[in-house]
Amino acid sequence: MTLTTFALIRHGQTDWNAQRRLQGSTDIPLNDVGRAQAQDAVAVLSAYEWDAIVSSPLSRAAETADLIAAGLGLSDVRRVPELTERSFGPAEGMQAGPELEALRIPGGFRGAESEDEAADRGLAALEALAEEFRGSRLLVVAHGTLLRVSLSRAVGSTLTSIDNAVLNLAHHHAIDGWQLEYFNGEPVMAATQR
């Protein structure tokens, strides 16, 4: 059985994360806490051998990936546009409150990419990477919502929010599908297999 192993890492913290603002596809850079989180992730990830690393092109994910790659001695981080965070449209930059609620519709926000559209895009990108890197160990640095909805769809279970720069370890088999081994740094029960 040929397994492709994925470390799925959400980027480190940004100022908008700290302020609890929706970022979406707005390109907000890492802050110093986020850079430290990326450096800390190296210690956990160094327990495994990795064949390649890819990331979203947005700067917060790209810088996280570059810091992790440098710490692990990997080169050539490839940017994958399909791993860009879900677009929240006019809700981007907003915090919880009446203005944000006024934009809310079933499945998301007016003028935004729906959760289903983001899951379709994210899972298609992960499955294309599984095909390209079949039998390899791949680091993927992307975004919280995109990873959450894609993984939820992959394993057939609704997952909670994904923490910044924490290990999510999943395995893909062309016939048996996806299995999630670690979520937010914690082992997952076999019930999340699909």
List the catalytic residue out of 11, 143, 171, 172.
Answer: 11
Q: Binding site: what residues are annotated?
A: 10-17, 60
How far are the Cα atoms of 18, 34, 76, 147 from residue 14, in angstroms, in the given order? 6, 6, 24, 17
Tell me the C-alpha distance between 173 and 8, whole Å. Answer: 16
Separation between Cα atoms, residue 108 and residue 110, nearest integer Å: 7
Q: What angle do CA 146, 60, 38 make, to 5 degrees?
A: 100
Tell me whether residue 82 is one of the annotated catalytic residues: no
**Catalytic residue (choose from 85, 92, 171, 172):** 85
Write out the two tokens for 24.
Answer: 């979406």
Q: Is 85 a catalytic residue?
A: yes
Cβ-based neighbours of 134, under 8 Å, separated by 6 or more: 2, 4, 174
Return d(Cα 145, Cα 147) in angstroms, integer.
Answer: 5
Binding residues for substrate are 10-17, 60
Catalytic residues: 11, 85
